[in-house]
Structure 1
């Protein structure tokens, strides 16, 4: 008996589609014996578990084991959770005409806190006008309008502003941020305009002595202290002697040089995943993750 080619058409000729399907199966990895139609082969495949089914069962077991491991891991860390906060830093060189750009950065990178130098704000109305939706702000303007620092933070975060001392070589704002009842940090934003580097080093060292005991301390801003493609060496000696680390490693200015810095104590393990992004003004937007233990 020859191979079954399926039911004949009314004309008496074989069904070409049926024959083609059988030929395709014959030339595939699964040989179709003569006398067995394609439908029989497909039915046999559906009824037999085969290698594929055994592999699926094995994968399911592996996934189940992985899920149990993950659940155990989460349960273990439940009592030692960490607050992860997305942070941004930029010299805006006048923020009022870049408020939309700031909001775009916040949305794009899901930022929770943004520190801004050279806001050029004159009063509180300028700060409120540039405030992104869902955020609050605090700032310290400069009398001539060409300076100023600000911090924008999500409205669920609470803040406490510390009294400021006057320094001739730099301006700053000092804030305690409470992300949750258990998670607090000190954020200090500094802007140093062009001037004597020696005077700044002396005043900044005095300033560090006054804040060195703060818990979860983070000092950021535009320090204007480039040394070729790195930060001023004498300044680096000062921050290292106070147990601080400088985290930004790539140039932050259009002309090169690391002008915008992020400082923290290595023992606090606050700063993670520092990234230098695109130009926002003549400065680039710097981002990192803050991890509060």
Structure 2
């Protein structure tokens, strides 16, 4: 909260919230911010959240990410500025290849948009950032 007051960000993205429907929006709401969240169903792990400062023009496109993807996709803009697509993702380490393929297909499609910020936790600890890939069979997708 101190960071929020000190730096006054317009957008804050959080992964691994560990919240469920038992935690109401009113319990995690911040003054002057809109709240967007995607909790993990059935487990108290994972989850993503985005706070957007009130006054920004925000379009929630998360419904286009159908399936069990823990992700939020927003288009954010201010009057007179270029819109920014924000994709916040949490990929559990136990995902199967079919789920990874589906996730990467969605990420690649969004990445083609003009102004995009993609972030989150992809659970890829052995990624080779020079090659943008993950070796071996531990994780089954290339970034």
TM-score over 0.5 for the alignment? yes
Q: Which stretches in structure 2 are left out of the alignment for 5+ residues?
A: 136-140
Match of 2:138 in 1: none
| Correspondence for 2:84 among 177, 185, 192 | 185
Q: Deviations over 1:258-293 (max 9, x none)?
A: xxxxxxxxxxxxxxxxxxxxxxxxxxxxxxxxxxxx
Q: Which residue pairs with 1:147 in the alignment? A: 46
Conserved in 2, the CA contact under 8 Å of 1:139 and 1:148?
yes
Task: List aligned pairs for 1:113-192, cutoff 5 A.
Answer: 113-123=11-21, 126-144=24-42, 145-162=44-61, 163=63, 164-167=65-68, 170-192=69-91
Structure 1 range deviating more: 155-164 or 174-183: 174-183
Point out the structure with the larger helix share: 1
Measured against aligned partners, the alpha-carbon deviations of 1:139-168 in whole angstroms (never above 9, x if no partner) come to: 11221242221110111112111123114x
Q: TM-score, normalised by structure 1?
A: 0.40
Q: Which runs of 5+ in 1 are unaligned?
A: 1-102, 240-293
Give the number of the structure whose alpha-carbon radius of gyration is greater.
1
Consecutive aligned runs of 4 or more in structure 1 exceeding 3 Å deviation: 196-201, 230-233, 235-239
Instruction: Say which SS state the counterpart of residue 138 (structure 1) adopts.
Output: strand
Measured in 2, the distance between the counterparts of 1:157 and 1:224 equals 31
Calculate the TM-score normalised by the size of structure 2: 0.75
Contact 2:126 2:134 in 1 (8 A): no
Q: Counterpart of 2:109?
A: 210
Q: Whose RCO is larger (CA < 8 A, sep 6+)?
A: 2
SS at match of 1:207: helix
Is the contact between residue 138 and residue 150 of structure 1 (CA under 8 Å) also seen in structure 2? yes
